[in-house]
Amino acid sequence: MRKIAAGLFVSLDGVTESPEKWHFTYFSDEMGAAVGAQMAAADTMLLGRRTYEEFAGYWPSQAGTGNQLADQMNDTPKLVVSTTLDKVEWQNSTLIKDNVVEELTKLKEQPGKDISITGSATLVRSLLRAGVLDELRLLVHPIVVGSGKRLFEDGGDQVPLKLIDSQTFSTGVLYLTYGLADK
């Protein structure tokens, strides 16, 4: 069975917004290997509307530049969860507007690699609370950002998790992998 795994850059105070403003100081070969392993383990990307719009505004223009990451981003099948979009135009993208949990549950039962979520904190929260997210992979950076959107800022029901794996990188970043406690 396939898993849905979310990988997020998070500050010590829980901020996930605008990691380009605080993340790169902590980037290392160790982190690159961890992110690369996440990407290699997946054959489908799952994106919320905002992350989709950001990515679709950038990655298609990088096609044909020799950038392997751009080729991977453009060529990988993408599922976009949105109630406000009417269409998605970035190549290999499919829109999911309704019955998200049902659609993703069916997809998990099909053969294939992991389904990865990058960014998309609102989507991650909703899938975690619905019990559809299998792994939450957090790269916790040793910085207090102070302001910005947080991974868990909207309250909601408690979701017990269990620690599956942890690593400490030389930059002080913690790589924490959690699953649902009842799985």
Contact of 103 with 96, CB cutoff 8 Å: yes
Domains of the chain: 4-180 (3.40.430.10)
pLDDT one digit per residue (tens) for the chain, 183 residues: 899 999 999 999 999 999 999 999 999 999 999 999 999 999 999 999 999 999 999 999 998 888 888 888 999 999 999 999 999 999 999 999 999 999 999 999 999 999 999 889 999 999 999 999 999 999 999 999 999 999 987 777 889 999 999 999 999 999 999 999 975
